[in-house]
Each structure stands twice: as structure tokens, then as C-alpha cells.
Amino acid sequence: MDERQKILTDVADGKISAEEANKRLAALEVDSSVKDPPVETGEVIQPARTELPASNWKKWWQIPFWISMGFVALTGYWMYTSYLNAGMSWGFWFALFFFMLSLVGVVASVLSRNSRWLHVRIREHRDGNPRNIAFSFPIPFRFASRVVSMFSWAMPEDIREAHLDEIIVAVENSISTDEPIEVYVDEQNGDHVEVFIG
């Protein structure tokens, strides 16, 4: 006998009150929604086919790091030669500005090594010509969380009450670098999209 039917029978027999029956039915409703979440129908998702292992992508922070280090060396040499030739002239200060920008790039790339990255790979077939598009960049969850908490005074009341900074940190913590989120889409026209977040 179904549990709901049993509760209704107990009420009809006078074993339990209507109030008790409502409580039991409500509890049963909560239990069934937890046990049986709604199932969405759609496409069958195939197991992930990782062409570039996500573990290799953890080293991508080194690309902007070494580019920034190269600019640090070049602008440092530029500052040195400007100082030797003309002292503290406009050339020295101009080189110093780019030297500081390069240092910011080094620091940002080092900080991004532990952050989550978004990698997108797209293979298109337009007019019979295959075209590959690829980009990767860090997702600055921590930075965004700090900005939101610093400027919460300027945000609308409902956003402040939602604690957006805590939500951003929770989203970051839910994405694992060991098990990144991987999405693959194959279109019928031959286009292929890969998205990795982790």
C-alpha cells in the first residue's frame, strides 16, 4: 500500500487526526522531493574526451609570467641605459612606468597560478575551411569577491543583503582544479566546442 494511501486510511479509521495527517503528508512530500529530484530530458551526454589533459593546463600561468619577466628585463635595461645617458630624464621615467607595469604582470600571473582558469577551444568549419579559435584566462574569483566587499556600500540594498562576495567565494570553492568542469559540444555541421573550467 502506498504511504499516502496508508495515511489517508488512518485518518478515515480515526487512528490519527487530520492535523497529524497533514504533517505526515508534508514530511512525505519533502522526503520524496529529496529522494527523487526532477529528471530533465535532453541529449545523452557522452563521457568527456580530454584531448589536452587538464593537468597540463595548470601550468598556463607560466606563459604570462615569462612574458612579463621578459618585459621586466627589457624595461630594466632601458631604465639603466636612459639613466646612464641622461640621468633622471623623461626616458628614465617613461621606462620606469613600463617596468612597473611589467612587475604588475609578474605578480598577477603568480597570483593566477592558484586561481581557476577558463579554457575555450572552438573548431569551426565555414565555407569548407576549418578554423581554430582558442583562448585561456584566469577567472578572478578572489579579486571579484574583494571588490564586491570593498564597494558594497555603493551597491543596491538587495545585493548587499544577498552577500554576493560570499557567493563568489562559494562558487570558486565548488570548482576543483583536480576535477575541472568540462563541457563538449559537437554540432551536426562539424563545429566543435570544448570548455574547461578549473
Check whether 15 has a pLDDT greater than 80. Answer: yes
Q: 65-74, 87-96, 105-114: which range is least confident on average?
A: 105-114
Per-residue b/e over 98-137, b at no fewer than 16 CB within 10 Å?
A: bbeebbebbebbeebeebbbebebebbeeeeeeeeeeeee
Segment 27-53 mean pLDDT: 56
Domain boundaries, the chain: 3-35, 53-113, 115-198
Q: Residue 137 contacts by C-beta under 8 Å, 6 or more apart in sequence?
A: 117, 118
Segment 32-56 mean pLDDT: 52
The candidate with the shortest Cα–Cα distance to 64, out of 110, 109, 129, 111, is: 109
* Alpha carbons 121 and 136: distance in angstroms, whole number: 9
Identify the pLDDT of residue 69. 94
Identify the pLDDT of residue 27. 81
Check whether 103 has a pLDDT greater than 90. Answer: yes
Quick: pLDDT tens for 122-132. 888 777 777 88
Quick: pLDDT tens for 148-167. 888 888 878 877 788 878 88
User: How long is the chain?
Assistant: 198
**Percent of the chain having pLDDT more than 70?**
84
Check whether 46 has a pLDDT greater than 60. Answer: no
Q: 59-63, 73-77, 86-90, 149-153: which range is least confident on average?
A: 59-63
pTM: 0.48
Identify the pLDDT of residue 58. 65
Segment 69-90 mean pLDDT: 92
Segment 166-183 mean pLDDT: 78
